[in-house]
Structure 1
Amino acid sequence: MKIILASSSPYRKSLLKRIDLPFECHSPDIDETPHSGESAQALTMRLSRQKAERLKQAYPEHLIIASDQSAQLSKTLLGKPGSEQKAIEQLMSCSGQSVTFYTGLCLLNTQTNNCQVDTVTYTVHFRHLSQQEIENYIRKEKPLDCAGSFKCEGLGISLFSKMEGDDPNSLIGLPLIKLTNMLIKEGINPLLTN
Structure 2
Amino acid sequence: KEPIGEGDGPYKQREQDHELPLSLDWLLIREAKPALESGKPVKASFEIKSIDRATGTILSHEISKRYKGEGLPDGTIAFDFKGSAGQSFAAFGAKGLSFRVEGEANDYFGKGLSGAHLAIYPHKESKLVAADNQIIGNVAFYGATSGKAFINGLAGERFAVRNSGVTTVVEGVGDHGCEYMTGGTVVVLGETG
TM over 0.5: no
Q: TM-score, normalised by structure 2?
A: 0.25
Q: Which structure features the higher share of helix residues?
A: 1
Give the number of the structure with larger relative contact order, counting CA–CA contacts within 8 Å between residues 6 or more apart: 1
Structure ID, larger Rg: 2
